[in-house]
Structure 1
Amino acid sequence: MSLDQYKAPPRPELFDFHGVPMVNFFTDNWDNIQNFQARPDDILIAAYPKAGTTWASYILDLLYFGKDQADNLPTSPRLIKTHFPVQFVPKSFWEQNCRMVYVARNAKDNMVSYFHFDRMNLAQPEPGDWSNFFQRFMEGKVVFGSWYDHVNDWWKKKESYPKIHYMFYEDMIEDTGREIDKLCSFLGLSPSAEDKMKVTGGVQFDNMKKDDMANYSTNPVMDFKISPFMRKGKVGDWKNHFTVAQSEQFDEDYKKKMKDATLQFRTKV
């Protein structure tokens, strides 16, 4: 169904759900979600929205299953993607000692990417203009809540749950092959040099952007006339959106909220 044929329902409203701003789409089936039965070999791929979830998922798809194997995929491991803050993850993932891959992206670029995503995704709340979204993002009044809480709470969880591999979007941009090596080490995978080269090439942004299985171009709730789902895939695009005053305001707020954090982010590579 094309977007021209699709009549989208009204954009949803945010509401407080156990202390996190959410929309009904992610909470209406909550009991079933929380009762989900994970398997020991499941791999959970988690990230704040627009932080690199699709990229990490694509890397894992190619590492485990290769390209063009949709008709005969094995039933395990299951690669399960989520934007949940760590406290929302169903308990069976922890009980089954599942491996988890978390991707984090610097807040400024993450904000810009999220803004354009909310503009084009008709199933998301109305973002308003850039100035309005800028303020709401800083206050954590977006779906899945505060970026600060999300990245820090997952980071802290590593201390008590070592089966979390924490990746940074900026590191993946800087040297994709190096980060794939680290991921393979965490997962216990040993791809051949040829296979690793295929994966590294296949997950480059321009290649993924052309792949209908990755770019969401067939999803009728996403209006590509407003913005593509995969826009630029770069570090530093925030400079094209933030005014000097906004950047200074953000930096001041960031210092306060991250003063006790051990996480370090880069806004350029």
Structure 2
Amino acid sequence: MEPFERPELYEFHGVSMTHYFTDNWENVQNFKALPDDILIATYPKAGTTWMSYILDLLHFEQEVKDRENSLPIFDRVPFLELTIPNYCTGVEALDTLPTRPRLIKTHLPIQFVPKSFWENNCRVVYVARNAKDNAVSYFHFDRMNMVQPEPKDWNSFLPRFMEGKMVFGSWYDHVTGWWDKKQNYSNLLYMFYEDMVQDTGRELERLCSFLGLSTTAEERECIRGGVQFDAMKANPMANYSTDPVMDQKISPFMRKGKVGDWKNHFTVAQNETFDKHYKKRMKNSTLEFHTEI
């Protein structure tokens, strides 16, 4: 297989993107959602794989034998907009997915989501992560993912993150756009990464209630144990160790999973600058995040 080329960012309908997520745009926009589809939406590095794995276990652990030990999470939960040469596109993978409901991953900002999801009143689970930890995680992700733009160093990366010069655009626009959608779309559950870390069991109950799933306390406890960070990091079906686009010698795909790791990266000056910028960008939103727990 030919080595992957790191792409250049470019402006796409007002959002920073790369060709790996726009080359199949017409088919993505014309994607035919089914009424029982479940869309897992996040800004990159906000708990996407964690939520994907949780929902997969909730729906299929009992009924699809050996799935957990034989199929990587990125095959179980296809990435809608992904288009990498010599790979099945996300749309193609979803069109041939044998399981129902289909679990679908996306990082698209709200304005890019195919209309068929709303027309079919599909259930959506959105996970948001505080901006500081999200920025740190995205930085390390870009270092090791060969189909992401070159991140350079942290000191130059952080200002670009603040400006929204990231694949899938601005963190601020992403989290607030989906938050606004939640206000008039009842089938959207908006969750927070920090809540999931603090009390995974409680958040599992919220998910089951939203999805109408009847699970016993024992089943939920079994799933809760299996989706803890250390368990997933050691699980080759969850840790992306079989994905050739990622060089985990540079940085593991599952690095720390902590709340507050940003303190190990931000200087005092960077934190002060970030806080001022954050206050300005979020002044009109009711969204609130925890940067430590």
Q: What's the TM-score, normalizing by structure 1?
A: 0.95
1:136 to 2:160 alignment: yes
The CA deviation string for residues 119-147 of structure 1, in whole angstroms up to 9 with x for no partner, is 00010000010011001000000100000
> Please, which of 212, 220, 223 is the counterpart of residue 247 of structure 2?
223
Q: Measure the CA separation in 1 of the matches of 2:195 and 2:243.
A: 29
1:60 to 2:55 alignment: yes
Q: Measure the CA separation in 2 of the matches of 1:98 and 1:264.
A: 26
The CA deviation string for residues 24-57 of structure 1, in whole angstroms up to 9 with x for no partner, is 0100010001111100000000000000010001
Gaps of 5+ in 2: 77-97
The CA deviation string for residues 196-219 of structure 1, in whole angstroms up to 9 with x for no partner, is 111111100011111112111111
Q: Measure the CA separation in 2 of the matches of 1:186 and 1:220.
A: 35
1:148 to 2:143 alignment: no
Would the aligned equivalents of 2:4 and 2:245 in 1 still touch at CA under 8 Å?
A: no
Alpha-carbon shift at residue 159 of structure 1 (Å): 1.3
Q: Measure the CA separation in 2 of the matches of 1:150 and 1:194.
A: 36
Match of 1:213 in 2: 237
Gaps of 5+ in 1: 1-5
RMSD value over aligned CA atoms? Answer: 1.4
Match of 1:88 in 2: 112
Match of 2:14 in 1: 19
Alpha-carbon shift at residue 258 of structure 1 (Å): 0.5
1:76 to 2:71 alignment: no
Q: Measure the CA separation in 2 of the matches of 1:181 and 1:69.
A: 25
Q: What's the TM-score, normalizing by structure 2?
A: 0.88
1:257 to 2:278 alignment: no
Segments ≥4 residues shifted beyond 3 Å: 71-74
The CA deviation string for residues 53-101 of structure 1, in whole angstroms up to 9 with x for no partner, is 1000110011001175428996210000000001111110000000000
Would the aligned equivalents of 2:196 and 2:203 in 1 still touch at CA under 8 Å?
A: yes
How many residue pairs match? The answer is 264
Q: Measure the CA separation in 2 of the matches of 1:265 and 1:50.
A: 16
Alpha-carbon shift at residue 8 of structure 1 (Å): 2.2
1:32 to 2:56 alignment: no
